A and B are shown apart, each in its own frame.
Chain A
Amino acid sequence: DAKTTQPPSMDCAEGRAANLPCNHSTISGNEYVYWYRQIHSQGPQYIIHGLKNNETNEMASLIITEDRKSSTLILPHATLRDTAVYYCIVQKMKTSYDKVIFGPGTSLSVIP
């Protein structure tokens, strides 16, 4: 079973911020939060990851609560091309010996 829970679907108006929540209440101290997205028919694409501090890159921001039991991925200005399934997963930094489990994710629809 996946170690994370996410809402199955969300809508967001184009140009607005998309805030995608994720619960990971059983996360252990050496596990990171990773976000990927899968645009229809393509391979999953890495977005961002973090341990306990908030992170930002050119694609998105990641806000992790102080207790690390939940996080929010923020796409600051959603575009139609951001329509995709977004996966939140927890994993140790080195994945070789760690079975990464993808849940069903959140299907984000960006609406014109």
Chain B
Amino acid sequence: DTAVSQTPKYLVTQMGNDKSIKCEQNLGHDTMYWYKQDSKKFLKIMFSYNNKELIINETVPNRFSPKSPDKAHLNLHINSLELGDSAVYFCASSGGRAGTQYFGPGTRLLVL
């Protein structure tokens, strides 16, 4: 069973388009995250949700809008895509007593 899943795995699109990435976790965790890993491989947190409530919102352009319809899902919608948005986006979740984060396989976004 996949603990944290993301769709799609690959996303190639043109500048200016709007796209969404979906994330689902079946671990029963309360907290979910979105991270961005750029070409230099730095992993940076973008958002954190706890029980569907936005907790952490890093300095991210407002073109990025996360949505958590329920505890098990955290989607990321990106408007007006730019070349600099090209990166790998990872979803993660954590819960329980330990703060261990479980990461999804990543979504590789390429903006042309």
Contacts and interface: CB of A to CB of B under 8 A. Distances in A.
Interface residues of A, number: 26
Interface string B48-81: 1010000110100000000000000000000000
B74 to A, nearest CB: 13
Contacts of A97: 50, 55-56
Interface string B22-60: 000000001100010000011111001010000110100
B98 A49 contact: yes
B55 A96 contact: yes
Contact of A32 (B4, B41, B50, B99): B99
A39 B44 CA distance: 17
A85 B41 CA distance: 10
B5 to A, nearest CB: 11
Interface string B93-107: 010011111111110
B88 to A, nearest CB: 8
B98 A43 contact: no
Contacts of A99: 45, 48, 56, 58
Given A96-B55, A99-B58, A42 B105 contact: yes
B99 A41 contact: no
Contact of B106 (A42, A92, A100): A42
Interface of B: 4, 30-31, 35, 41-45, 48, 50, 55-56, 58, 90, 92, 94, 97-106
Given A46-B102, A95-B31, A102-B42, 16 more contacts: A34-B99, A36-B101, A38-B43, A42-B106, A43-B4, A43-B92, A43-B106, A44-B92, A44-B101, A44-B103, A93-B99, A94-B99, A96-B48, A96-B94, A98-B99, A100-B45
